[in-house]
């Protein structure tokens, strides 16, 4: 694989010389503190939420994971939910095949929830709604369905076609069911990969190493 340098304002172009089997890319979006990182921590069995500055995600991050229960390998893009990171959310969304829209079942739809919904609609990204924090006493799933309907998201529970799963990311309740729902949706998509030629890659971060070398973390778009 050869990297052709370009200016920072342009995409990074890669020359692909072999076949790539592409796993689905799943974006995790939602309002700040609605539980995106907790959900990802549950999937990865990590505790990154305690390491984030101010307790909130402040950058896009990406990783690959495999659910042994479902033999399901996928790439997760975690996007920040704070109002200050709109451009990062938009960048992360462009990459995704399916989006998990995380909504706090006690708070419902909030400003960044609406922004995420609009970005997903603009990019025609299929959505699975994760109604999180159902373990809280003031959780109101039915009200969330109504609030989402007002934003044009018609969940299956009210006769629409958008899958929705009620979960507790903190306790792990229904997280497997959520990912089974995501897998079912990704299985219906035609996720082909190119075998040769040029493609784009989004650069997530660069880490310096010894002898003036750098480690790059990229998400390569191999869509045919």
- What is the set of active-site residues? 33, 36-37, 82
Going from the C-alpha of 213 to that of each of 8, 10, 166, 209, 216, the distances in angstroms are 18, 22, 45, 5, 10
- What is the Cα–Cα distance from 60 to 74, expressed in whole angstroms? 16
Tokens of 5: 């340098």
Burial 140-152 (b: 16+ CB within 10 A, else e): bbeebbebbbeee
Name the 3-class secondary structure at 78: strand
Q: Which H or E element spans position 103?
A: strand 98-104
């Amino acid at each position: 694989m050869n990297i052709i340098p370009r200016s920072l304002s342009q995409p990074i172009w890669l020359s692909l010389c072999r076949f790539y089997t592409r796993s689905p890319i799943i974006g995790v979006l939602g309002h700040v503190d609605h539980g995106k990182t907790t959900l990802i921590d549950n999937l990865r069995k990590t505790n990154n939420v305690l390491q984030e500055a101010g307790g909130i995600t402040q950058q896009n991050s990406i990783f690959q994971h495999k659910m042994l229960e479902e033999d399901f390998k996928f790439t997760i893009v975690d996007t920040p939910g704070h109002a200050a990171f709109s451009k990062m959310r938009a960048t992360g969304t462009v990459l995704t095949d399916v989006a998990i829209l995380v909504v706090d079942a006690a708070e419902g739809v909030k400003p960044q929830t609406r922004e995420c919904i609009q970005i997903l609609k603009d990019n025609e990204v299929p959505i699975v709604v994760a109604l999180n924090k159902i373990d809280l006493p003031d959780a109101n799933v039915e009200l969330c369905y109504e609030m989402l309907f007002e934003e044009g998201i018609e969940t299956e529970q009210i006769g629409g076609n958008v899958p929705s799963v009620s979960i507790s990311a903190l306790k792990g309740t229904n997280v497997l069911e959520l990912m089974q729902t995501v897998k079912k949706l990704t299985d219906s998509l035609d996720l082909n990969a190119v075998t040769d030629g040029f493609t784009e890659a989004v650069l997530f971060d660069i880490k310096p190493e010894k002898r003036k070398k750098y480690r790059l973390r990229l998400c390569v778009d191999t869509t045919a």
